[in-house]
Structure 1
Amino acid sequence: MWITVILFAAFMAVMLVVAALVVGGMKESRAGAVQSRQPTVSSSAPAPTGSPSATPPAEVPTRKYETAANPLVAPGATMPKVTCELPKLRGTKEKLEEFYRALIPCLERAWHPVLTQVGEPRIPVSVNAEDVKNTACGLPPPPDEALGFYCSDGTTIFVPLPRQLERGGPDLLTQLFLLAHEYGHHVQEQSGILSKHDLLYDEADGDQPKILELSRRLELQADCFSSMFLANAAGRGSIGAGLISQLKQSTFDDSDTHGSSKSAALWQKRGLNAKDTSACNTFAAPASEVS
């Protein structure tokens, strides 16, 4: 009898151990299922009948922190033709802001498809026509150096009203080229070109020739971007084809920061004739073309 009791007790102990192992295995299995809620989708396995096809998550666009090697200025990134319906240009703050608010969406319709092609983000931009004394980026440039300017902190284009009225009132070609140029800086910000430029500026460590050449490459690229936009908008809506002829006949002042008149004319021409954005890769150009 004692032998029977001992054997029965041993049997029960074994069963308890087995039960514990089974329960423990189930807990571990459930934990594993929770940690892998995002299923791995096999491209070769068909979706179950009657259920929607599984699709991988969309890739989130990110900035590519490059200048010459940025995908935005690689061959193949093309800009669509756009039609801009703009209000009549007047010399009051309200009318100028109305004009800018209509032009920004048109610039976005031109540039957003380009950014999408190269997998870079689209970031909203605002326009400020106040005569600001300071910005998140620091003091504004003097009026004799710039009609407008762009601040990446807050992604804002500043076009102070007094600067637009200094020469007898706003001119259509001037305003179109100005805002398209400043939006070009916003494109540089969205793509990562501007951030890489700023890093290279810091690495120059006060070397003025290097710093000025970097500035010219940045500004001449914005000129090229501006011209490229106008070439794709001219002859439609409110932007007449004749504006391109006016732009070709315009002249530029020499500038240590924005480029010589010769370099400005070169990059303007390349923007007007561009087949894709690689025509505006100023950071890959020889120094003689960004003088």
Structure 2
Amino acid sequence: MESPDDPGDRPAWAPPSEQHREQRSTVWITVIVFALFMALMLVAAVLVAGGLKESKAGAVQTRQPTVSPSSTAVTSVTPPTSQADVPTRKYETAANPLVAPGVTMPKVTCELPKLRGTKEQLEAFYRALIPCLERAWHPALTQVGEPRIPVSVNADDVGNTACGPPPPPGEASGFYCSDGTTIFVPLPRQLEDGGPYLLDQLFLLAHEYGHHVQEQSGILSKHDVLYGEAGGDQPKVLELSRRLELQADCFSAMFLANAAGRGSIGAGMISQLKQSTFEDSDTHGSAKSAALWQKRGLTAKDTSACNTFAAPANEVS
């Protein structure tokens, strides 16, 4: 992308004879005009090359969501336009600045429509909830210089995603794909057992958005590296999965604690959440661990309360 160097060498010029004095003036004018033209062309070439370099750098740093035509796209606040001001992710888990002491979440007010059972009504609910999640998490991400990446929500019953086939309905009501930064909440899964239910939807979407927070901060990418380094060692792989999922649980509870009692999320939601029961899971944690990290999220003073990757193994069993 760099312009070829122009050494500026010119052939030596000898003064003309006396009888060609008039022609010499014409030659001088031609040389000067040509030199000016070449200088302008060189400047233009440098500017074009610089523009291409910045454009390619911007394409790498700004990740846009991949959304199918039928999905619901919910875009976050527009990232900074100056490339010098665009934050970069810190690829760490336990040492990630997002979960360092002192990183706080503001109180937020969520005004949400009534939760209904059609795809259009469910999508309207998500469209209102995602910006509220952003208002809670963006200040924390900005505080530690992490980027803010747009996220999309897809309520279709998809058979495949950019991350591969979805998990079975019995294992997950929703799931997050970092390739395309999309939260999938298939409608049939939300209508099981007579749903959708408000608390379930709030906790589910806040949990999946917690995975998006992990993606924005670099926690998820570092987790994937550690997963690869585990080399198929099942105990290590499962422990990494539990640390990731329990942190998303903690993030979800922390959000609800800062949103409850305002707008459409009543204070009674916290009491209901505390009464929730859990099932043991090799990938998402035991009932005891799930209850522990939910409690820590609900009582958290800052995001360090959710640093599952720094916790001892018996707390992420």
- Who is 1:227 aligned against? 253
Whole-Å separation in 2 of the counterparts to 1:255 and 1:209: 13
Q: Does 1:281 align with 2:281?
A: no
Whole-Å separation in 2 of the counterparts to 1:288 and 1:156: 32
Whole-Å separation in 2 of the counterparts to 1:271 and 1:97: 26
- Who is 2:17 aligned against? none
Partner SS state of residue 85, structure 1: coil
Which amino acid is 1:164 matched to? Q
Q: TM-score, normalised by structure 2?
A: 0.74
- Who is 1:213 aligned against? 239
Partner SS state of residue 194, structure 2: coil
Which amino acid is 1:266 matched to? L
Which amino acid is 2:253 matched to? S
- Who is 2:274 aligned against? 248
Q: Does 1:236 align with 2:262?
A: yes
Partner SS state of residue 163, structure 1: helix
CA deviation vs aligned residue, 1:43-98 (integer Å, no higher than 9, x gap): xxxxxxxxxxxxxx964311000000000000011000000000000011010000
Find 1:173's aligned residue among 199, 219, 227: 199
Whole-Å separation in 2 of the counterparts to 1:89 and 1:188: 27
Q: How many aligned positions are there? A: 241
Task: Kindly name which structure, 1 or 2, has the bigger radius of gyration based on alpha carbons.
Answer: 1
Q: TM-score, normalised by structure 1?
A: 0.81
1:169, distance to aligned residue in structure 2 (A): 1.7
Whole-Å separation in 2 of the counterparts to 1:254 and 1:70: 28
CA deviation vs aligned residue, 1:180-232 (integer Å, no higher than 9, x gap): 00000000000000000000000000000000000000000000000000000
- Who is 1:77 aligned against? 103
Find 2:219's aligned residue among 183, 190, 193: 193
Which amino acid is 2:296 matched to? R
Q: Structure 1 segments of 4 or more deviating over 3 A?
A: none
Q: Does 1:95 align with 2:121?
A: yes
Alignment gaps of 5+ in structure 1: 1-26, 36-56
Whole-Å separation in 1 of the counterparts to 2:295 and 2:93: 21
Find 1:270's aligned residue among 292, 296, 307: 296
Q: Does 1:108 align with 2:134?
A: yes
Q: Does 1:183 align with 2:206?
A: no
Find 1:68's aligned residue among 70, 91, 94: 94
RMSD: 1.7
Whole-Å separation in 2 of the counterparts to 1:226 and 1:193: 16
Alignment gaps of 5+ in structure 2: 1-38, 48-82
Which amino acid is 1:76 matched to? G
Whole-Å separation in 2 of the counterparts to 1:224 and 1:280: 6
Whole-Å separation in 2 of the counterparts to 1:197 and 1:58: 27
Identical columns (%):
89
- Who is 1:7 aligned against? none
